[in-house]
Amino acid sequence: MKKRLPQAKLPLPKFKSDDEAAAFYSTHSVAEIWDQLPAVKPVKLSKALAQKIAERRAVAKAPISIRLGPEQIAAAKKIAAAKSVGYQTQLRMWIAEGISREAPRG
């Protein structure tokens, strides 16, 4: 069983380096205070980059249906939120890990 990470304090500390920030976030979670964090301006993408992203998304994934229990979806959402990713992204990562683990090597 994973240890629960301590709740991050507001305001979040200022970091002198990326290594210092990485060390902090490896032992703290912002999941509980996410809604209290200050809003930031959305990133403005160039048209070319936005187009590339849209094309990659359209080609890279095919939609499928999978039936999951409500408790499975809730658990995936909670885990994904703690990792700051979407729950569908988290599910795709788990599927990819399982395929890698089970696929024959050769």
- N-terminal to C-terminal alpha carbon distance within the chain: 33
Residue 59 half-sphere exposure toward CB, CA atoms < 13 A = 6
| pLDDT band per the 50, 70, 90 thresholds, residue 3 | low
Helix, strand or coil for residue 20? helix
Nearest-Å Rg of the Cα atoms of the chain is 18
Mean pLDDT of 65-92: 95
Tens-place pLDDT, residues 16-71: 999 999 998 888 888 877 887 778 888 899 999 999 988 888 886 788 999 999 99
Residues in the chain: 106
Q: How far is CA 44 from CA 23, 55, 65, 87, in A?
A: 29, 18, 33, 25
Residue showing tokens 């964090």:
37
Residue 6 has pLDDT above 90, yes or no: no
Question: Domain map of the chain by residue range?
Answer: 1-38, 66-106
